[in-house]
Amino acid sequence: MGPEHLKGVWAALGDEESNRLTGTHATFTREQVAAHLERIGAADDRADWAITSSDDGTYLGEVVLNELDDENACMNVRIALVPGAPGRGYGTEAMTAVLDHAFGAVGLHRVELSVYAFNPRAQRSYEKAGFVVEGRQRHTLLWDGTWHDSVLMAVLATDPRPSSDAPAPTS
């Protein structure tokens, strides 16, 4: 993912429902987003990919491996899709490809994430990609005056999971 995805990333950040699903309270300027997209390609402790349509290259979202714990061969993963993309298999396909990369090329042992309990569709998608529920954190997100829990999920390199038919992501 890089500067060429600014238009799609900027539009996605303006979607209220996407911000709720990701727990994004922060607001950003277009200049901050552009600077972030310029910077991430050189980072050695994370990998960011744009999810795009194979038909026409339309920006559909992003998937990110971050929070590298090198000593324990572990990273966090997060994904966000633009409105209209969820429920069409893009997230599961992208997540499966990124896990193939994480366990193959990177050599990680564990990839973890948290998903808000009000997002069971995302949880099902993660389970399809091989994630297992490990627990629940109570009241991790305050949104519009209501507290919401997070569901902790992870997949290990040794866990059975589907293999991706998608091409491996490129950084």
Tell me the percentage of the chain whose pLDDT exceeds 70: 92
pLDDT of 125 above 60: yes
The pLDDT assigned to 170 comes to: 53
**3-state SS record for the chain:** CCHHHHHHHHHHHCCHHHHHHHCCCCCCCHHHHHHHHHHHHHCCCCEEEEEECCCCCCEEEEEEEEEEEHHHCEEEEEEEECCCCCCCCHHHHHHHHHHHHHHHHHCCCEEEEEEECCCHHHHHHHHHCCCEEEEEEEEEEEECCEEEEEEEEEEECCCCCCCCCCCCCCC
Model confidence band, residue 85 (pLDDT cutoffs 50, 70, 90): low
4-13, 43-52, 75-84, 159-168: segment of lowest average pLDDT: 159-168
Residues 6+ apart with CB under 8 A from 167: 97
The answer to whether 63 and 40 are in contact (CB under 8 A) is: no
pLDDT of 86 above 80: no
Residue 149: both structure tokens together: 């829990």
The pLDDT assigned to 55 comes to: 86
**pLDDT for 12-42, tens place per residue?**
998 898 899 999 999 999 999 999 999 998 9
19-28, 49-58, 80-89, 110-119: segment of lowest average pLDDT: 80-89
**pLDDT for 90-119, tens place per residue?**
888 999 999 999 999 999 999 999 999 999
Question: pTM for the whole thing?
Answer: 0.89
* CA–CA distances in Å: residue 4 to residues 12, 33, 55, 87, 156: 14, 12, 17, 25, 33
